[in-house]
Amino acid sequence: MWRAQEDDAAIAHVKRLVGSIHPERGDFERAWTDLEEALTLYERARSSRGRALTLRTMALYHLARAELDQAEKLAEQAVRIFRELDDQLLESYAVRTLAKARIRLGRCEEALEPLERALLTTRSLRDRYGEAITLRTLGELHLTEGRLDQAQSRLNEAMGLWEALNLPLFRARTLRDLALLHAERGDAATAETVRAEAIEVFRVYGSREYGELSSNPL
């Protein structure tokens, strides 16, 4: 329909959303094709916000493939554009994506303060979804750094929000983190129980994590 109307921005919007769904299912080749088209169309439409949204989605694509340097570069570009647009909420989302790349690159010290600021932004704007994903990322950071009590506190806060928002898939992703935390504490039985619960949700939703976890024991 939008192609018939020759509306580049609308086509780009649909392409970006479709490009964000494919990685959830593990279909990376189709995802990148859609995201590249979205970026080209947003640039042609001169939409800075659309371009930044697509850059962030591309960064998430690279995170899913453990291509961390590429994820960091694209997330930095998205943060810069949202800051120029004075869009605090979308900047907080891009900051979280950038932080995840830096955590996985082993540079947690660069991620903590921006994540704490992003958490304040989501809370002040009453974005409970954004708050929950930021709390989960903070939990990942503390877990990576071995601060298990702080990690558990943040992850439990995220779990409460996922349950309130009725988002089982995101709850399962946080359960996956909690399984790692219990394993770090030496509680293998609890870790396996929590992990099994997460795997079942991933199976039901057909998400890529089902294959990842089914073939990789703790």
Give the 3-state secondary structure of residue 198: helix
CA angle 90, 92, 98 (to 5 degrees): 105
How many other β-carbons are positioned within 10 Å of the β-carbon of residue 28? Answer: 15
Lowest-confidence region among 3-17, 56-70, 102-116: 3-17
Average pLDDT over residues 48-72: 96
What is the residue whose two structure tokens read 């169309």? 41
pLDDT mean over 37-52 = 95
Residues in the chain: 218
Q: Cβ distance 19 to 32 under 8 Å?
A: yes
CA angle centred on 122, ends 117 and 127, rounded to 5°: 170
pTM (two decimals)? 0.91
67: Cβ contacts below 8 Å, ≥ 6 apart:
none
pLDDT of residue 195: 95
**Cβ–Cβ under 8 Å, residues 195 and 175:** yes
Question: What percent of the chain lies above the pLDDT cut of 90?
Answer: 84
Distance of CA 9 to the CA centre of its chain: 24
pLDDT at 201: 95
Distance CA 49, CA 46 (A): 9
- pLDDT value at position 112? 97
Is 6 within 8 Å of 39 (Cβ atoms)?
A: no
Any idea which residue has 């605090």 for tokens? 88
CA distance 69 to 60: 12
198 band by pLDDT with thresholds 50, 70 and 90: very high
Dihedral sign, Cα of residue 32, residue 38, residue 41, residue 42: negative
> Taking residues 75-97, what's their average pLDDT?
98
172 contacts: CB under 8 Å, gap ≥ 6: 197, 198, 201, 202, 205, 209
Torsion angles phi and psi, residue 138, rounded to 5: -60, -40
Instruction: State the average pLDDT over residues 59-82.
Output: 96
The contacts found for 195-199 with CB under 8 angstroms, 24 or more apart, are 197/172, 198/172, 198/173
Q: Quick one: 51 exposed, middle or buried, by C-beta within 10 A (0-12, 13-18, 19+)?
A: buried
Structure tokens at 39: 């970026």
